[in-house]
Amino acid sequence: MDNSIMHNKTIAEIITGLNAGEFSSVELTQHYLERIQRLDSTYNSFISVTDEAALARAKAADQQRAAGNISAFCGVPIAHKDIFCTNGVRTSCGSKMLDNFIPPYDATVVENFTNAGAVVLGKTNMDEFAMGSSNETSFYGPVKNPWNINTVPGGSSGGSATAVAAHLAPGATATDTGGSIRQPAALCGVTGLKPTYGRVSRWGMIAFASSLDQGGPMARTAEDCALMLNVMASFDPKDSTSIDRAVPDYTTNLTQALSGLKIGVPTEYFEEGLNPGTEQAVRDALTELEKQGATLVSISLPHNKLAVPAYYVIAPAEASANLSRFDGVRYGHRCENPKDLRDLYMRTRGEGFGDEVKRRILVGAYCLSTGYYDAYYRKAQQVRRLIKQDFVDAFETVDVIMGPTSPSPAFEFGAKGNDPVAMYLEDIYTIATNLAGLPGMSVPCGFVDKKPVGLQLIGNYFDEGRMLNIAHQFQQATDWHKQSPEGIE
């Protein structure tokens, strides 16, 4: 086996190669670790690399395979976003606050992958506490987009997207509160899926906005996302919002023909603010799907314009409550020599949190305070209901909704840093999905100025299988997902 092409394999191809004895998990893991060591000083996509543990797991996986005990991800290397707690391995959430935090337990998602035999290469970089769309807010420094290192990879799961795009891992876990799987997947030219709220356990996934947060896979193909979702999705009694519903095999229907499929195309997703090159790539993708037998239906999501404002009340409100636990008392950063309890709280939080996190805590606490709760928080929840109803109505007539994932391709570092509202508008097409709890996906569909563009698919509740089927069929007819950034091959 020529080592130089091992990192070009998809997860499905890796599984085939391992089964055929073309290479061992130890060889594969060593190869990825060597690439991370050699290339990641440029990209900064990993916060921690767990090389010793990875090699030990790979060795164990090779032994299990030899003994005929082959679990779904036996010996397959992956990376976890540094928001998922990993037993004995630092879990920072991209924050100084948790720079010294070593969890005593695994998140359910991590445990599911361990039980499936996966090898964990390390923990990926992210915006601090998953707040951001550019990966510029990480305490560990920005992540660079492998397609153009002067541009951002998107956020908050920019480390996972970059690791996959630069072939430093064949797949990575990620989380999406308002777009953080789909937007970085789009900007880095990889495939990412945010499942229905409640499909993937949030236990051990550090909370940002609990009613919106959802973990999901990022990989190079829809087929790989299906393989990963098979492992990630589970009913978890430890997460009270986890849904007790059988997990189908998401690979079963991948090759089903698309004839008869009705695709809703919201007029609101093609209005002012959309980059013309992005629009063209998305329209071409829709034409390709029409060729495969799908019908395009123009629809309206009239409350979409209220999604960003409603989100920026609800998400900060939940964040201000969730982040109150970081007080210097139990774990994480603690200031030096506090004078009294108040000083401990104030200096610990003042030192431990970055600017964007502080901004969200301030906004959230304000919206929840007496006198403003009704005007902001209650109103935002009412708007959320209207946004959800738009989708429920649309799914009466269409099977899936499609449009761009983000309004434009990757932007340069610092371009939106001083303008939070411009940054928040990056998620104008993704946020409504989280407010409604629906599954969403981004699939590479073209380039603008050599920068990748993502096609977004929004499905009905628990319709991940159909979305993966559509994405897979699209990827059988196109090769956008097969392109690699220059120098990566």
Spot the catalytic one: 95, 133, 156, 201.
156
Find, among 160, 245, 83, the residue nearest to 442 by Cα.
160
Active-site choice (24, 95, 133, 180): 180
Is 180 one of the annotated active-site residues of the chain?
Answer: yes
Least distance in angstroms from the C-beta of 208 to ligand GLN? 6
Nearer to ligand GLN, 44 or 156 (CB): 156
For residue 376, how far is the Cα from the chain centroid?
28
* Cβ–Cβ under 8 Å, residues 264 and 402: yes
Is 156 a catalytic site residue?
yes
Q: In angstroms, give the least distance from the CB of 403 to ligand GLN.
A: 17
Q: How far is the C-alpha of 443 from the C-alpha of 458, rounded, in Å? A: 11
Min. distance of Cβ 413 from ligand GLN in angstroms? 16
Q: Nearer to ligand GLN by C-beta: 62 or 239?
A: 239
For residue 352, the surrounding DSSP H or E stretch is: helix 341-352
Whole-number minimum distance, CB 95 to ligand GLN, in Å?
Answer: 13
Q: Nearer to ligand GLN by C-beta: 10 or 408?
A: 408
* CA-to-CA dists, residue 89 to 77, 162, 206, angstroms: 17, 21, 14
- String of b and e for 396-410 (b: at least 16 CB within 10 Å)? eebbbbbbbbbbbbb
Question: Does an H or E element contain 445, and which?
Answer: strand 440-448
User: Residue 48 pairs with which residues in a beta bridge?
Assistant: 123
Q: Give whichever of 390 and 427 is closer to ligand GLN, judged by the CB atom.
A: 427
Catalytic residue among 81, 123, 194, 451: 81
For binding to ligand GLN (CB under 6 A), which residues are involved? 130-133, 156, 176-180, 208, 315, 427
- Please state, in angstroms and as integers, the Cα–Cα distance from residue 253 to each residue in 14, 180, 258, 263, 288, following that order: 21, 26, 11, 18, 20
Q: How far apart are CA 446 and CA 452, in angstroms?
A: 6
Identity of the residue, 131 or 383, whose beta carbon is nearer to ligand GLN in the bound complex: 131
Catalytic residues: 81, 156, 180
